[in-house]
C-alpha cells in the first residue's frame, strides 16, 4: 500500500518497527514525518483474558498505513 505524503507539510513519512523496551514500552509500528513531527504508533502486541499476550505485527503495520492514508 502506497503511503500518502504528510497532510501538513507534504513530505514523505517514515514507517519504522520499534522493538520496545522491556517493562517500559511495548513493541510497535510508528509512522512519522520527521520534517514537521506529525505521527503516531500502533502496538504490535495485544492482551486477551485467558490467552495472554499475542503478536499482531502484520495487523499493526497495516493499521498504521491505513490510518495515515485516511487521516483518522
Q: Is residue 5 part of a domain?
A: no
Q: Domain for residue 8, yes or no?
A: no
Residue 34 lies in a domain: yes
pLDDT higher than threshold 90 for residue 39: yes
pTM over 0.85: no
9 part of a folded domain: no
In a domain? residue 62: yes
Q: How much is the pLDDT for 9?
A: 94
Residue 38 lies in domain: 14-20+27-70
- Residues 51-71 pLDDT 10s: 777 788 898 999 999 999 997
How many structural domains does the chain have?
Answer: 1
**C-alpha distances in angstroms, 32 versus 8, 13, 47, 69?**
12, 5, 26, 12
Residue 55 in domain? yes
CB atoms within 10 A of CB 56: 15
Amino acid at each position: 500500500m502506497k503511503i500518502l505524503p504528510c497532510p501538513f507539510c507534504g513530505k514523505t513519512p517514515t514507517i519504522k518497527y520499534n522493538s520496545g523496551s522491556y517493562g517500559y514500552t511495548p513493541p510497535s509500528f510508528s509512522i512519522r514525518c520527521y520534517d514537521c513531527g506529525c505521527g503516531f504508533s500502533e502496538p504490535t502486541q495485544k492482551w486477551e483474558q485467558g490467552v495472554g499476550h499475542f503478536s499482531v505485527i502484520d495487523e499493526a503495520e497495516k493499521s498504521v498505513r491505513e490510518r495515515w492514508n485516511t487521516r483518522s
